Amino acid sequence: MAGNPSRTLSNAGVNAIRPGRTRMLSYDRGLLLAVTGLVLFGLVMVYSASVALADGPRFGSIDRHHFLVRHGIFLALGCVAAAFVFTINLEIWQKAALPLFLVSLVLLVAVLIPGIGREVNGSWRWLPLAFGIHLQPSEVMKLAALLYAADYTARKQAHMQAFWRGFVPIAAAMGPAGLLLLLEPDLGAFVVIVAVTMGILFLGGINSRLFASLTVVMGGMFLALIWLSPWRRARLFAYLDPWDESNVLSQGYQLSHSLIAIGRGEWLGVGLGGSIEKLHYLPEAHTDFILAVIGEELGFVGIFLVLAMFAFLVRRAFEIGRQAVAMDRTFSGLVAQGVGLWLGVQALINMGVSLGVLPTKGLTLPFISYGGSALVMNLCAVALLMRVDYENRILMRGGRV
């Protein structure tokens, strides 16, 4: 008995679409593999770069596996935090953007109060918690500033061409955060937050002439900060000629040994674990200058692979952001692209410093360098990115978020 022709046609149409939909995964496999690869590679390199520190006077009381174990603990905490972040809808994150930003400001104030914040090497950047764990508020502020800038830009789309109604309000909000970061001092975090905020404003449609003018002004302010600070000025001159006799054993010491390490690695490196510079010659080999150890042990190939992984991650972040914007989800799209800017800019600065392309500045390499707060916040940022992608895929299937 013949069935209803219209029903048969409808079923055929559904069956024609359904296979394509079922083949679409609920997550970005490539993005997940890239981040997992960077994190696991970082675990190996942190151990390799830090294993000899127990033999030195500074860390003579620790075990050889001290930094590996702590990095593993922070990685586990970061995965738990990332899983929690991923479960929260982007609409909720948008509502929480301003409160989170205000809480981050309070933390930046607290870290400067003697007796509350912890001072290390002249910088007030850490809040002691429990079990020897310290929170770095500047890392929390990176995430909070990203969310706040994305929320502000999404809400003020109609005013993004105006100076007073578009730029001034967010500048007034970000100004105190920048000032507090400079008081720590933490110029690296300040640069990353400014770059992410300006990037989000640009992507959100700020007036091009205004953006160009602001870029010139911010560049001038950055140079002024360096010039008016004697020790920052000394670092700049050391960067220009690290091999000068007056620099090689002072301000240019880290850079010169970083370049020596990378030069020793040549194309394929001296082998995993075979670095000489990590044997108390290169300071902060397991944190800010871990790329130099990678270059020495794994050569040009190792550095290139790290660079390629970050390039892929940033590209996917911008693609996910464009998909969200195309579906009229401006806040989600700006969050995704902001994550790409954050990780890309910070990785670029870290690599540039290690390679002698940029002046020496203390910034960790995302996912790879040792550092608890940084690793946890980086994983939370990726969780936000994957949540944007997850919601995009639900909407492309015709579902509801």
Of 346, 342, 335, 384, nearest in space to 368 by CA: 346
Is residue 35 within 8 Å of 86, Cβ to Cβ?
Answer: no
Q: Looking at residue 24, what is its pLDDT?
A: 67
Q: Looking at residue 330, what is its pLDDT?
A: 96
Q: Is residue 2 part of a domain?
A: no
For residue range 212-227, list pLDDT tens digits in order: 888 888 888 888 877 8
Q: Residues near 30 by Cβ (< 8 Å), separated by ≥ 6?
A: 312, 316
For residue range 133-165, list pLDDT tens digits in order: 889 999 999 999 999 999 999 998 878 888 888
Q: Looking at the 3D structure of the chain, how many domains does it have?
A: 1
Q: Is residue 47 part of a domain?
A: yes
Domain that holds residue 146: 27-396
Q: Is residue 21 part of a domain?
A: no
Q: Which of 38-42, 100-104, 281-285 has the lowest mean pLDDT?
A: 281-285
Average of per-residue pLDDT values in the chain = 89
Instruction: Quote the CA–CA distance of 361 and 235 in Å, as a whole number.
Output: 9
| Range 38-67 average pLDDT | 89
Q: Looking at residue 23, what is its pLDDT?
A: 66
For residue range 163-208, list pLDDT tens digits in order: 888 888 999 999 999 999 999 988 899 999 999 999 999 999 888 8
For residue range 251-302, list pLDDT tens digits in order: 889 999 999 999 999 999 999 999 999 999 999 999 999 999 999 999 999 9
Q: Residues near 243 by Cβ (< 8 Å), separated by ≥ 6?
A: 252, 256
Instruction: Quote the CA–CA distance of 101 and 186 in Å, as a whole number.
Output: 18
| Range 103-114 average pLDDT | 95
Q: Looking at residue 19, what is its pLDDT?
A: 44
Of 261, 226, 286, 340, nearest in space to 45 by CA: 286
- Is residue 185 reached through a cis peptide bond, with omega within 30 degrees of 0 on the bond before it? yes
Residue 346: pLDDT over 80: yes
Instruction: Quote the CA–CA distance of 113 and 80 in Å, as a whole number.
Output: 30
Q: Looking at residue 63, what is its pLDDT?
A: 87
Q: Looking at residue 158, what is its pLDDT?
A: 79
